[in-house]
C-alpha cells in the first residue's frame, strides 16, 4: 500500500494561534524542576488581560483541573496545581502539550497526539504488520526514513499502543 506525499507546512505556536487560540509547549527539565509552566509571550500579549488568578485545564477524558496562575508583569505561569496535574498524568521531559483556549480562563489540554485506529495483523509469532490506518499516521506524524517509533503497550485486553516518535536529526550543511 503506497502513501501519497503531501507538502507539510511547518507549524509554530504563532501559526496555530492565528487560526484559533492555541499554544503548545514541550516539557523541559526546568519545567519539572520549577513546578511551573510559562505561557508564551504572544499568547499573554493577546489574552493575558482575560486571565484571572485561576485557570481551568480540561483533558480529553473530561477531567477538570484548577491551576493557579502566577503573574509577573507580562509573564504568566501555570503554577499552584500544575505539579499535581503533571504528576497525575505522568507527564515527563519531552512531552508535547497543546493548550486550546476556550475562553473564561479555560484551556483544553492534550498531549498533541492524534488518536486513530490502525489495524495490526500478526505475521509470525512476535511479529506484527501495521495495515489499515498506518498511512494516516505516517502523514500526520510526518514520518521519514530514520525516524524511530516506539510502541508502548497501554492496554493488553484491547491491544492499545502508545506511539512515541523520535525524528532523526537532519544534517546541517
pLDDT tens-digit readout, 54-106: 999 998 778 899 999 999 988 999 999 999 999 988 888 888 888 989 888 89
pTM over 0.75: no
- Rounded CA-CA distance 161/119 in Å is 12
Helix (H, G, I), strand (E, B) or coil at 18: helix
Helix (H, G, I), strand (E, B) or coil at 151: strand
**Burial of 158 from C-beta contacts in 10 A (0-12 / 13-18 / 19+):** exposed
Find where cell 487560526 sits.
19
| pLDDT of res. 53 | 94
Q: Compute the CA torsion angle 166, 108, 39, 80 (nearest 10 deg).
A: -110
Q: What single-letter DSSP state applies at residue 140?
A: H
Helix (H, G, I), strand (E, B) or coil at 120: strand
User: What confidence tier does 112 reach under pLDDT thresholds 50, 70, 90?
Assistant: low
Q: Report the 10 Å Cβ neighbour count for 50.
A: 11
Q: CB neighbours of 2 closer than 8 A, spacing ≥ 6?
A: none
Q: Report the 10 Å Cβ neighbour count for 91.
A: 18
| pLDDT of res. 169 | 60
Amino acid at each position: 500500500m503506497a502513501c501519497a506525499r503531501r507538502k507539510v507546512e511547518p507549524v509554530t505556536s504563532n501559526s496555530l494561534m492565528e487560526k484559533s487560540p492555541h499554544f503548545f509547549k514541550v516539557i523541559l527539565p526546568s519545567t519539572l524542576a520549577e513546578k511551573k509552566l510559562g505561557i508564551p509571550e504572544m499568547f499573554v500579549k493577546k489574552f493575558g488581560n482575560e486571565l484571572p488568578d485561576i485557570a481551568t485545564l480540561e483533558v480529553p477524558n473530561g477531567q477538570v483541573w484548577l491551576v493557579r496562575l502566577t503573574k509577573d508583569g507580562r509573564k504568566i505561569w501555570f503554577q499552584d496545581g500544575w505539579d499535581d496535574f503533571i504528576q497525575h498524568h505522568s507527564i515527563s521531559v519531552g512531552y508535547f502539550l497543546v493548550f486550546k483556549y476556550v475562553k473564561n480562563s479555560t484551556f483544553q489540554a492534550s498531549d498533541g497526539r492524534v488518536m486513530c485506529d490502525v489495524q495490526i495483523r500478526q505475521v509470525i509469532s512476535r511479529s506484527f504488520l501495521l495495515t489499515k490506518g498506518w498511512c494516516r499516521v505516517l502523514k500526520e506524524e510526518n514520518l521519514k526514513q530514520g525516524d524511530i517509533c516506539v510502541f508502548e503497550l497501554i492496554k493488553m485486553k484491547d491491544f492499545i499502543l502508545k506511539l512515541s516518535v523520535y525524528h532523526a536529526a537532519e544534517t546541517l550543511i
